[in-house]
Structure 1
Amino acid sequence: MDEDKALFPPIDPIRAGVRGCCPRCGQGRLFDGLLKVRPACSNCGLDYSFADSGDGPVVFVLLIVGFIVVGAALWMDVNYAPPLWVHFILWVPLAIGLGLWLTRILKGLLITLQYRNDARPGEIDRG
């Protein structure tokens, strides 16, 4: 991240994070597969070793997806009372799919915001 940033136009971190693009150039891909972060950008060569989203996105995804799926399952059970196997067929794939999709979006968003704000682990100045 010590390169001259004047060579790259400013990138909207929200748009780049949602699309899973490089936070510096906006062209290269951020992910190698579904959730694994690439070692570097294939377009501009930015090293992604700074990218550590940790468990932050997963916590929010669990809360959001849990609220949506449990609320919908309870509503369906109260109004239609389907058998238990219908609940499994509907809600388990929805929870898994929505969870993975939202995790990818929030992880990309957090990584691009880390780059934009030059976020690092906490340091104590011992000068």
Structure 2
Amino acid sequence: MFDHTSQVDDRETWPAVWKGWRQKCPNCGSGPLMKGYLNVRRSCPVCKQELFHHRADDGPAYLTILIVGHIMAPLLHIVFVQFRPEPLILFTIFAIGCVALSLYLLPRLKGAMIGFQWARYMHGFAKPG
């Protein structure tokens, strides 16, 4: 049976995902992953790891919607049932909350997805040699 853990060039998934979440290069963990809000650098300025192969596409947006919906919908229900605020106040608070949470999560989830792809050798992040 093939033991993939004995290979020298195996990449650990969770550290790479965590580095991506922090918007750092999944290889070295110190170079910036993004230039701007959502634009991924072509390569890491520190370790020269190529990053342009990533295929995050719409995945981070779908995950953001999923997470924000699962957090805000129960909160909306709880606040409405417990406190019965005025509709305009309720809308304003939850609209701002949804936008703020979405803007916070989107680049981090994109970085995490790129870190995952890098760790699993997906979409051009090929094994060396």
**Aligned partner of 1:64 among 62, 67, 71:** 67
RMSD: 2.2
Which residue of the partner structure matches residue 116 of structure 1? 119
Q: Give 4+ residue runs of structure 1 displaced > 4 Å after superposition.
A: none
User: 1:118 deviation in Å?
Assistant: 0.8
TM-score, with length taken from structure 1? 0.78
Please report how far the alpha carbon of residue 52 of structure 1 lies from its aligned counterpart in structure 2 after TM superposition: 1.6
After superposition, the Cα gap between the structure-2 partners of 1:10 and 1:117, relative to the gap in structure 1 and judged at 3 Å, is: closer
Cα separation, 1, equivalents of 2:27 and 2:71: 34
TM-score by length of 2: 0.77
Equivalent position to 1:26, from 24, 29, 35? 29
Give the paired residue count.
114
2:81 is matched with 78
Residue in structure 1 matched with residue 127 of structure 2 by the alignment: none
Q: Could you say if the C-alpha distance between residues 78 and 22 of structure 1 is closer, same or farther in structure 2, counting changes exceeding 3 Å?
A: same
Pairwise CA distance, 1:89: 2.2
Indicate if the aligned counterparts of 2:23 and 2:111 stay in contact, CA closer than 8 A.
yes
Higher relative contact order (CA 8 A, sep 6+): 2
Deviation, structure 1 residue 85: 1.6
Give the % identical residues.
29
The answer to whether the 8 Å contact 2:17/2:26 transfers is no
